[in-house]
């Protein structure tokens, strides 16, 4: 009786094509064509991950703009006159104030409460990013050189396509988006 094809699980760098399983036993590669198609799917997942990162930033910008237009947020409080804390003296960052006075200072402004729909949207996008990043990590952990290359090519291609603009001032101020292909 012929034996059934088995998933090969390598814990070392490899270039195996047939009998490679990607994440699930059901994603069993049995031919070179299936392997090439699977690599293209992994590239697509890498592009999707980068799209989700950009989409999250865009959703955050839209939510912030909508809330700011409604007169909410730190900037709106500053426009209303006076300081965020309501004092006439200049605002001092809590870390700086703690260094100057020797006491712990708690900022009076902790952010703006988000509407439920905005929280659900942000949480859904974040959850999708986390799932996809861990999934790509599992693909990477097959230690298959071709699948690793497909993951990196997908991330690079997605970054090229979706990150064509840069906020120069934010980068120079140290506040640019430095989160790369982290798990989450």
Say if residue 184's pLDDT is above 50: no
Instruction: Give the largest CA-CA distance in the chain.
Output: 87
Domain assignment present for 111: no
Number of domains observed in the structure of the chain: 1
Q: What is the mean pLDDT of residues 132-137?
A: 97
Domain assignment present for 137: yes
pLDDT in tens, 21-61: 999 999 999 999 999 999 999 999 999 999 999 999 999 99
Cα separation, 48 vs 13, whole angstroms: 26
Domain assignment present for 54: yes
Tell which residue, 123, 120, 135, has the closest CA to residue 183.
135
Domain assignment present for 95: no
- Of residues 66 and 7, more confidence is placed in 66
Q: What is the pLDDT of residue 5?
A: 75
- Rounded to a whole number of angstroms, the distance between the first and last alpha carbons of the chain is 47
Domain assignment present for 184: no
pLDDT in tens, 103-112: 665 556 678 8
Confidence class for position 4, pLDDT limits 50, 70, 90 = confident
- SS3 call for 50: helix
Domain assignment present for 21: yes
| Residue matched to tokens 């703009």 | 65
Q: Kindly state the tokens that stand for 84.
A: 């965020």
Domain assignment present for 50: yes
Q: What is the pLDDT of residue 40?
A: 98
pTM for this entry? 0.74
Q: Which domain holds residue 145?
A: 1-72+117-168
Domain assignment present for 97: no
Helices and strands, number each (H, E), in the chain:
6, 2
Q: What is the mean pLDDT of residues 5-33?
A: 90
What ranges in the chain are assigned the alpha helix state H? Answer: 32-69, 74-79, 94-101, 116-140, 145-162, 168-172
Q: What is the pLDDT of residue 82?
A: 47
Cα separation, 170 vs 173, whole angstroms: 5
Cα separation, 17 vs 124, whole angstroms: 35
Confidence class for position 175, pLDDT limits 50, 70, 90 = confident
């Amino acid at each position: 009786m012929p034996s059934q094809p088995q998933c090969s699980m390598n814990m070392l760098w490899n270039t195996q094509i047939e009998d490679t399983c990607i994440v699930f036993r059901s994603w069993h590669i049995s031919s070179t064509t299936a392997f090439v198609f699977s690599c293209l799917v992994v590239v697509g997942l890498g592009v999707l991950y980068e799209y989700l990162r950009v989409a999250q930033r865009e959703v955050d910008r839209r939510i912030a703009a909508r809330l700011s237009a409604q007169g909410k947020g730190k900037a709106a409080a500053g426009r209303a006159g006076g300081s965020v804390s309501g004092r006439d003296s200049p605002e001092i960052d809590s870390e700086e104030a703690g260094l100057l006075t020797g006491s712990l200072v708690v900022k009076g402004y902790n952010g703006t409460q988000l509407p439920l729909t905005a929280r659900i949207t942000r949480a859904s996008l974040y959850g999708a990013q986390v799932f996809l990043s861990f999934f790509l990590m599992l693909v990477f952990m097959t230690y298959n050189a071709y699948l690793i290359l497909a993951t990196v090519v997908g991330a690079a291609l997605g970054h090229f396509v979706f990150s064509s603009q840069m906020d120069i001032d934010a980068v120079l101020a140290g506040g640019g988006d430095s989160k790369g292909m982290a798990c989450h």
